[in-house]
Amino acid sequence: MILYDYVLSASCYKVRLMAALLGKALTLHAVNFHPGREHKSAEMLALNPQGTLPVLTDGDTVLTDSADILRHLTVDQPEWHTEEDERWLAFASDLNNSLGLARLHDVIGYEAVIDTARAAGVMALRKLEAHLTEQRFDGLIFLTGKAPTIADIACFPNTALAPDGGVSLDPYPSIRLWMRAIRSLPGFIEMPGIHRLHELAHPA
């Protein structure tokens, strides 16, 4: 499987993280999204006419939607799926269009109405915080249950990278605990802006 990848893309990171958690090997093909705009090059447009990243190729299969790629990677792993996933995959798009946009604006100068993007991001975080708090009341740490699913992997990157776009995560303790649970999963990999979990102190 080849992932056409941009190192700073939250959506490409979803794919890299999913593969790492599954222990599946990906061949990474670096695409110069910024400043090179290589995702709009003839070569990339031939692969994905929409000119977006990520793009995953697996034999003759070409997938260009990160949710589809997460489904594809876990197709033989039912433990990574629940019936609730679909609404969270849609929610992940909301995160991308709000917090993700604010981040691209602040980091690499994307055009955006920044106050609107941040405000929509805050509304999404409040929904996420409320849901995760209710999950905690039920003794559940992840979005749809006791174990992580593709829903968590889809929603995690743009949430964790919110501060890159000028949106603080300080007001959301349940989100922070959830992020910590994801960062502690075996096989977890970081990306710039999302740091590896340091070893917890073990009192002697």
Which lies closer to other proteins via its Cβ, residue 109 or residue 173?
109
Q: Is residue 106 a contact point for other proteins (CB under 8 A)?
A: yes
Edge-first strand listing for the sheet containing 61-63? 27-30, 2-5, 55-58, 61-63
Q: What tokens does 55 get?
A: 């793009």
Q: Which is nearer to other proteins, 51 or 166 (CB)?
A: 166
Applying CB under 8 A, which part among 45-53, 57-65, 89-97, 189-197 lies near other proteins? 189-197
Please report how close the Cβ of residue 94 comes to other proteins at its closest, in angstroms: 23
Q: If we measure between CA atoms, which residue out of 17, 5, 8, 4 comes closest to residue 156?
A: 17
| Candidate residues 24, 87, 180, 195; the one interacting with other proteins per rule CB under 8 A | 195
Which of 2, 107, 112, 119 contacts other proteins by CB under 8 A? 107
Nearest distance from C-beta of residue 182 to other proteins, angstroms: 17
Considering beta carbons, is residue 51 or 163 the nearer one to other proteins? 163
- Measured in whole angstroms, the distance separating CA 198 from the mean position of its chain's CA atoms is 21
- Asked if 108 is part of the footprint of other proteins (rule: CB under 8 A), the reply reads yes
Our CB check for other proteins shows the closer of 169 and 185 to be 169
Cβ contacts of 46 within 8 Å, gap of 6 or more: none
Per-residue contact string for residues 40-69; x = within reach of other proteins by CB under 8 A: ------------------------------
- Residues lying near other proteins in the complex (CB under 8 A) are found at 5-8, 30-32, 34-36, 38, 106-109, 163-164, 166, 190, 192-193, 195-196
